[in-house]
Amino acid sequence: MDTICKQSKKLFLAIFSLLFLSSFLSINRVSAQDGEKIFKDNCATCHSLGSDIITGPGLQGVMKRVPDEEWMMKWIKNNDALIKSGNPYAVKISSFAESNMTVFTNLSDADIKSVIAYIKDYKAPTPVNNPGDTGSGAADGGEKAENPMTLLIGIIAFLIIIVAVLRGVRHSLKNLQNEKLGIPEEEKVGAWTEFKNWTRANKTTTGVVVLFFVGGGLSAGWYALKDIGVYANPDTKLEYNPVQPIAFSHKIHAGDNAINCQYCHSGVERSKTAGIPSVNVCMNCHRGISKGRSDAGTAEIAKIYAASGWDPAKAKYSNPTKPIQWVKVHNLQDFVFFSHQQHVKVGKQECATCHGDLTTMTTAKQVQPLTMAWCIDCHRKTEVPGMKDNPYYESLHKKLAEKFKDLPLDQRKFTVDKMGGIECGKCHY
C-alpha cells in the first residue's frame, strides 16, 4: 500500500512538473516574441527580413552568409569595434553603404540572441486573395499568427483529462489492494475535496504555486494594459490595418507606378501635417483611367467618380459630390507636437522610417508603435544631417565636433538628442 501511495505522489508531482514546464515553455514563447519587438524597434528602419535593400541589406539567409552566430552577436553589439579589430568579413561588408550601422551596446546578449532567433525563424506571410485586392488596392493578407495562450490552454485541458483518468485508476487499484488485505474499501472522494485536503496538508507548496501564478498573472496583466491605446489591433499588435472606404493601393501607385509620395501628400515638406489628398488629385489621373486591373478594381475607381461627381459617360462633373471618409491610421495624442516638415525636409527622414515600406502595402497599416519611448530611442540613434546651404547648422556642426572630439567614436555622432531632441518642451508644450 505504501508503494502505491508513493507512486501516486510521484505521479502527482510529475503532472505538476509538467504543468510548470508548460507554463515555462509558454513564457519562453513570449520571450521569443521579444525578439520581434526588439527587431522592429531597432533594426526594421534599415533592414528588411526579405531580400529588399533599405539602408542596409535584406536579412533573408543572413545566417548562412555570416561566419557564425557568435560573430553575428559581436557585429550587432558593436560593429565599429569588430571592424577596427581587423576581422576580414567585418571589414569586407563595412563598405556596403556610406552610413555606418548603429552600435547597440545598450542591448544585452539575451536581447541580441532573441533578435537572431526571430530572424532565423521568420517566415514571410503567405498572401491570400482578398475580394478588396483590386486594381486600386486591398488589405494585406497572411497566415494568422498562432496564439501561445491557445496552445497552453489546450495542454492544460489535456492534462486535466489525464489527471481525472489517473485518479479513477488509482482509486480502483487501491480498493483492489484493500480487498486482498481485508481492509474496507476507500470511500470515493470528489476531485475538489481531494484537492482541498492536499492543499491543507501541503501549505508551503500551495503557497509557492499561488505566488507563482499570481506573479505571472500580474506580469501578463501589466503587459496587456500598457499596450492599450498604443496598438489598435490586439491580434496583430503593430499592424493596425483598418478597412478604408476606397481600397486605395500604395503598392500600385507608389510601388509599381513610382508616384512620388509628395504628389498626394503635398504638405509633407512644408507643413506640420502631410495632408490627405482631395478627390481632385485622384481625378487628375483617373479622368483618363477608368479601368482597374480587375472588375473589382474598376468598381473601386467608380467610387472615386461617385465622390467627385464625375459622369464618365458624359465626361463631365454633373453628379452630386460627397466626401470620402478616410479612416486615419497613424494617430498621435492631442498633447503631442509632431511636424512632418522638421523630419522630412530638415531631418532628411524617409517616409518608411515611421510608416514602413508603403511601396509593398495595399491599404496603409501601422508598422511602428509611435510611443514616446520609440520616438526618444530614434532621436538617440538618428544622426543630424549636415546642411551645407545653411551657415547656422554648418557652424553648429563644427562646434559640436570640437565639443565631443574626446568621446568614443560611437558617442561622437551628432544625434538628435545632442541638439535638444529629447527635451520635454520639443514635443509637449
> DSSP class of residue 419?
G
- 3 state DSSP class of 182: coil
In a domain, 111, yes or no: yes
Q: Residue 134 has what pLDDT?
A: 41
Q: Who's near 24: CB < 8 A, 6+ residues apart?
A: none
How many Å apart are CA 39 and CA 118, to the nearest integer?
Answer: 8
H helix and E strand count, the chain: 17, 2
What's the CA gap between 104 and 111, in Å, rounded? 10
Q: What is the pLDDT of residue 268?
A: 92
Confirm whether 283 is domain-assigned.
no
Task: Report pTM.
Answer: 0.48
Helices (H), 234-278: 250, 261-264
Does 374 map to a domain? no
pLDDT at 283: 93
- DSSP reduced 3-state for 107: coil
pLDDT of residue 24: 45
Rounded to an integer, what distance in angstroms lies between the CA atom of residue 366 and that of residue 389? 35
SS3 311: strand
User: Residue 336 in 3-state DSSP?
Assistant: coil
Query: And the C-alpha cell for 332?
Result: 498621435
Does any domain span residue 276? no
Assess if residue 340 is contained within a domain.
no
Q: How many domains does the chain have?
A: 1
Which residues of the chain are modeled with pLDDT < 70? 1-33, 45, 52-55, 95-99, 124-147, 226-238, 386-389, 409-412
Write out the residue range of the structural domain in which residue 122 sits.
1-188
- Give first-to-last CA distance, the chain, whole Å: 77
- What is the distance, to the nearest Å, from the Cα of residue 175 to the centroid of all Cα atoms in its chain? 57
Please check whether residue 6 lies inside any domain of the structure: yes
Q: Is the dihedral of CA 186, 190, 191, 197 positive or negative?
A: negative
- In this prediction, residue 135 carries a pLDDT of 42
Residue with cell 557564425: 68
- Cβ distance 329 to 242 under 8 Å? yes
Q: What angle do CA 114, 118, 124 make, to 5 degrees?
A: 170
Return the CATH number at 39: 1.10.760.10
Instruction: Output the pLDDT for position 166.
Output: 84
Burial classification of residue 412, based on how many CB atoms lie within 10 Å of its CB (0-12 exposed, 13-18 middle, 19 or more buried)? middle
Within 13 Å, how many C-alpha atoms sit on residue 369's CB side? 22
| Residue 4 maps to a domain | yes
Beta-carbon contacts of 261 under 8 Å, excluding residues fewer than 6 positions away, are 254, 268, 351, 358
Considering the domain boundaries, does residue 320 fall inside one? no
Output the CA–CA distances (angstroms, integers) from residue 389 to 27, 98, 392, 395, in the order listed.
53, 21, 9, 11
**Matching residue, cell 462633373:** 317
